[in-house]
Amino acid sequence: MRLVLLGPPGAGKGTLAALLKESLNLVHISTGDMLREEMKNGTDIGRQAKGFIDKGELVPDDLVIRLIEQKLIGDKQVRHGYMLDGFPRTRKQAEDLDRILGQIHQPLDYALYMEATLPVIIQRLGGRRVCRGCGAVFHVHNKPSRKKNMCDVCGGELYQRADDNEATIRTRMDVYLKNTRPVIEYYKAQGKLEKLDADKDSEEVQGVLMQTFNEDRKLNKH
């Protein structure tokens, strides 16, 4: 299965992807994680991306599309299915993704739109903590680690993302409304959009989604 996860910052795209990775055995491809990895390794791409990410703005399309194209065409692991988290974020990215997938005859199955309200988003991003070692995501209230600032999975140190501060969150929301909302319409027109109430608990969101997949399978839709 090939999925796209759409939604505002903090809607829970990464959290849902971690759950679906387990239940559906799909590869999780997050452009945010890929760009942060490039930054950590001090690569050319990382240096170019840093200024945009720190301000909460979008990294230029050509740079992100290049990363995704390499992954989808060059990485054998993705052949059995994947979830794209945080990509596409502009109409140009959506069109280029269709072009790439058309070349390899692997169309998308679903675009999952995780709809969340602003107070929920602010609460989630303000309390998010991420593991430096394995990237596991926690929340100081919603999903606290057993030991303070220590990852339950690998024992690594938990940190707060530099772009999870109030001013940058506001910019990210504005950028999302301006650039990414049109992508939702793009997939709606293709009949691939599946809307999810992401204010709900993540297991509940996953449950609703699995039900949709099962019903569509029975109807031979996918």
Contact status, residue 156 vs residue 132, Cβ threshold 8 Å: yes
C-beta nearest to ligand AP5: residue: 32
Give me the least distance between CB of 169 and ligand AP5, in Å please.
8
Task: At 208, give phi and psi (nearest 5°).
Answer: -60, -40
Is 58 one of the binding residues for ligand AP5 (CB under 6 A)?
yes
Determine whether 89 is an active site residue: yes
- C-alpha 148/C-alpha 128 separation (Å) is 13
Q: Which one of residues 39, 45, 86, 135 is an interface residue with ligand AP5 (CB under 6 A)?
A: 86
Between strands 82-85 and 27-30, the pairing is parallel
State the catalytic residue, choosing from 2, 13, 36, 124: 13
Determine whether 99 is an active site residue: no
Is 13 one of the binding residues for ligand AP5 (CB under 6 A)?
yes
Is 135 one of the binding residues for ligand AP5 (CB under 6 A)?
no
Is 202 one of the binding residues for ligand AP5 (CB under 6 A)?
yes
Determine whether 13 is an active site residue: yes
State the catalytic residue, choosing from 36, 71, 89, 129: 89
Stretch that binds ligand AP5, among 40-48, 120-128, 145-153, 182-190 (CB under 6 A): 120-128
Give me the least distance between CB of 22 and ligand AP5, in Å please.
15
Is 35 one of the binding residues for ligand AP5 (CB under 6 A)?
yes
Is 87 one of the binding residues for ligand AP5 (CB under 6 A)?
yes
Q: Which one of residues 6, 53, 111, 112 is an interface residue with ligand AP5 (CB under 6 A)?
A: 53
User: Other C-beta atoms within 10 Å of 65: how many?
Assistant: 21
Contact status, residue 17 vs residue 114, Cβ threshold 8 Å: no
Residue 101 CB-density burial (10 A; 0-12 exposed, 13-18 middle, 19+ buried): middle
Is 32 one of the binding residues for ligand AP5 (CB under 6 A)?
yes
Is 160 one of the binding residues for ligand AP5 (CB under 6 A)?
no
Q: Which residues bind ligand AP5 (CB under 6 A)?
A: 7, 9-15, 30-32, 35, 52-53, 56-59, 64, 86-87, 89, 93, 124-125, 127-128, 137-139, 142-143, 163, 172, 201-202, 205
So which residues are the catalytic ones?
13, 89, 128, 161, 172
